[in-house]
Amino acid sequence: MKKVLVLSSSLRKGSNSETLAQEFAKGAAEAGNKVEFESLRGKKIGFCMGCLACQNKGKCVIKDDAPAITKKMESADVIAFATPIYYYEMSGQLKTMLDRANSLYASDYKFREIYLLTSAADTDAKAMNIAKRGIGGWIACFDGVKLKGSLCATGAESAGDVQKNSALLKKAFAMGKKV
């Protein structure tokens, strides 16, 4: 059994990327894993100040919701990030959270497997490539960590579009089940 954290960065309730994240979580849970679903919606997460105090203190000095989420990331074996694609990149909310998780670099983090679930209005699956590269840059900072899978819901412009694509939902579920 693995401890799986599914982190949804969309601020829109019932969003397409969040729907993928929920399906991934269902699959991971059905496979017998302990799954926690965390949404950035409603969370206060400020920008990293670049002070690097987290490297010595083991946690960020900014008093908001990011340190608690970072702690969950640290103790997870698997992290699935879900994000809408904005201008061919991950959402600003996710990027800000990744920056604020800088204390993980010097920690005894447990995660080794990362998944990326995205949704884009663009109809070309290449729409996620820059976000995938961005997550890859974050992963490269952690020894022994790999991107184990990614999925992009293309042509998903309106809320609920992903729910109409049962094949895609099955792919997200199956990806979670493989954890």
> What's the pTM value of the predicted model, to 2 decimals?
0.96
Nearest to 25 by CA among 12, 13, 39, 11: 39
Phi, psi of 163 (to 5 degrees): -65, -20
Which amino acid, residue 60?
C
d(CA 147, CA 153): 18
Query: What is the chain's pLDDT, residue by residue, as a tens digit (179 residues)?
Result: 999 999 999 999 989 999 999 999 999 999 999 999 999 999 999 999 999 999 999 999 999 999 999 999 999 999 999 999 999 999 999 999 999 999 999 999 999 999 999 999 999 889 999 999 999 999 999 999 999 999 999 999 888 899 999 999 999 999 999 99
Which amino acid, residue 43?
K
What pLDDT, on the 0 to 100 scale, is given for residue 157?
87
Q: Which CATH superfamily is domain 3-178 in?
A: Flavodoxin domain (3.40.50.360)
d(CA 177, CA 33): 9
3-state SS assignment for residue 74: helix
Q: CA distances (Å), 170 to each of 12, 76, 114, in order?
A: 22, 24, 19
